Amino acid sequence: MANIEQNLRELIKSKGLKLSDVADRMGTTVSNLLSSVKGNPTVSKLEDIAAALQVNVSELLTNRPESALGFVIIGGQTYQLSKPSKNTVQIPTYARYDGLRDEIKEFVKKSIEGGDTASKMGIVEALEFFSLVYDKDKETFCLSLCYADGKTETIVYDKFEFCNWGKSNTDDDAPWDVAQVTEEIINDIEGVVASKIQADTKE
């Protein structure tokens, strides 16, 4: 169902107007104007509002994207590129490995020190999507990689494989070898998908 009030506000904003401007044109108050578009407004009321804005009624009933940022043609069809709404999920994208490495190092360090379950994800050079999860109960990191046409790889890093074992350490108190597990995770994010893609092209 269309959110007429939201569409009204976006139309007013796009025309450089205020709610009070439209209300004045209609000879009413802002409060009455907003009340009139809640619930199931009458066609005549929508026509009055559209006339005041100099738009078609359909524009009040249709979710309007913000101003186009560009256009793309796919299969002969033209699509408008618009700024996403504030509710559209934004996935971190990494074009440079040095920035990604720094963030992974910080994530691993904070996860182990904080002792809470945590996650981090992102897209690397449009080649892969990764999700890295720290499970505080199992004391493991789990890296999931998605690439190509939906192929996936999952790698688990267990504390017992990446520990700084001391003579007096037990399974319960042996500390993580933070540098080692961090290096392994980074190497896998950077190398696993690249090697898989290379292997696929040779087949």
Q: Identify whether the C-beta of residue 5 lies closer than 8 Å to the C-beta of residue 64.
A: no
For the chain, the domains span 4-69+77-82, 93-202
In this structure, how many other beta carbons lie within 10 angstroms of the beta carbon of residue 134? 22
89: left (phi over 0), alpha (psi -120 to 50) or beta: beta
Which pair of tokens denotes residue 103? Answer: 């963030």
- Nearest in space to 134 (alpha carbons), one of 148, 149, 151, 116: 116
Could you say which DSSP state residue 104 is in?
H
Q: Identify whether the C-beta of residue 102 lies closer than 8 Å to the C-beta of residue 42.
A: no
| Crossing angle of helices 97-114 and 178-202, rounded to 10° | 140
**Chunked mean pLDDT (size 10), the chain, 203 residues:** 76 88 93 87 88 84 58 72 71 88 95 93 90 95 92 93 74 84 94 78 64
**CA–CA dist 92, 109 (Å, integer):** 19
pLDDT for 1: 40
pLDDT for 4: 82
Give the CATH H-level superfamily of domain 4-69+77-82.
lambda repressor-like DNA-binding domains (1.10.260.40)
pLDDT for 154: 96
Please state the pTM of the whole predicted model.
Answer: 0.61
